[in-house]
């Protein structure tokens, strides 16, 4: 076997290990663990702990990979054109879209929230998500509504992940029930 073939095999194995580590991290978080350890990730990926830290210098690096997955899902919500033409109907559509997105990435958002206070990257990623969500909201509103601070802030709060999580986790509502509550609140606020 040539030196190039050996090097190529090592590189391929390294890429495979890296992908397995990222997949393990995502699976652990998806299963409900909000603060996975490097040991848990290594065991799930079936690699040594040293291999985890050879590819990721610290757990924050792994959280960066998780943030990429979150961002990808949320960008699908942002990029999809609205079906509704009336702004009030777009607000209801936004409730539905965000509910769907939050159900997909909710566990990842909860996990990143646990470490956000220790991580500049996660704090910045959260800030970007909040800002992007607000920009999307404002883009759907007529100027008179967007310029009313109380209405804008109330809508921003109602359509946030934190509100969704409160309805789902603390109040025990199903996704459909949470959506109905938010739709009713948005309708009353925008009447």
Neighbours of 113 (CB within 10 A): 15
Q: What pLDDT does 103 receive?
A: 92
pLDDT in tens, 49-89: 999 988 888 888 888 887 887 788 778 877 889 999 999 99
Q: What pLDDT does 122 receive?
A: 87
Total length of the chain: 191
Q: What pLDDT does 3 receive?
A: 58
Task: Provide the residue ranges of all domains of the chain, joining segments of one domain with +.
Answer: 1-57, 60-191
Q: Which two tokens stand for residue 126?
A: 């959260």
Q: What pLDDT does 14 receive?
A: 67
- Residues contacting residue 48 through CB under 8 Å, at least 6 positions apart: 42
84 with 93: CB under 8 angstroms? yes
179 with 95: CB under 8 angstroms? yes
Residue where the block lists tokens 């997949």 = 23
140 with 94: CB under 8 angstroms? yes
- Residues contacting residue 164 through CB under 8 Å, at least 6 positions apart: 98, 99, 102, 106, 178, 182
129 with 160: CB under 8 angstroms? no
CA 89 to chain centre: 25
pLDDT in tens, 92-117: 999 999 999 999 888 888 888 888 88
Pick the closest to residue 36 from 18, 22, 50 (CA basis): 22
Q: Which two tokens stand for residue 107?
A: 């566990």
Q: What pLDDT does 67 receive?
A: 80
Q: What pLDDT does 176 receive?
A: 98
Percent of the chain with pLDDT over 70: 94
Whether 143 shows a pLDDT value over 70: the answer reads: yes
Neighbours of 94 (CB within 10 A): 23
Q: What pLDDT does 4 receive?
A: 56
Rg of the chain over all Cα atoms, to the nearest angstrom? 20
72 with 131: CB under 8 angstroms? no
> pTM of the prediction?
0.79
Write the CATH number of the domain with boundaries 1-57: 1.10.10
Whether 155 shows a pLDDT value over 80: the answer reads: yes
């Amino acid at each position: 076997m040539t030196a190039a073939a050996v090097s190529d095999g090592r590189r391929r194995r390294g890429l495979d290990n890296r992908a397995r580590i990222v997949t393990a991290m995502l699976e652990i978080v998806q299963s409900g663990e909000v603060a996975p350890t490097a040991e848990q990730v290594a065991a799930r990926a079936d690699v040594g702990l040293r291999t985890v830290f050879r590819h990721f210098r610290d757990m924050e690096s792994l959280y960066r990979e998780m943030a990429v997955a979150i961002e990808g899902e949320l960008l699908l919500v942002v990029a999809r054109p609205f079906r509704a033409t009336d702004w009030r109907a777009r607000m209801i559509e936004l409730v539905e879209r965000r509910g769907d997105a939050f159900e997909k990435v909710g566990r990842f958002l909860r996990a990143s929230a646990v470490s956000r206070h220790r991580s500049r990257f996660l704090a910045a990623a959260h800030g970007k998500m909040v800002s992007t969500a607000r920009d999307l909201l404002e883009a759907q509103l007529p100027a008179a509504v967007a310029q009313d601070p109380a209405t804008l802030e109330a809508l921003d709060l109602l359509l946030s992940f934190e509100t969704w999580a409160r309805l789902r986790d603390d109040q025990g509502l199903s996704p459909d029930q949470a959506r109905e509550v938010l739709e009713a609140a948005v309708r009353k606020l925008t009447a």
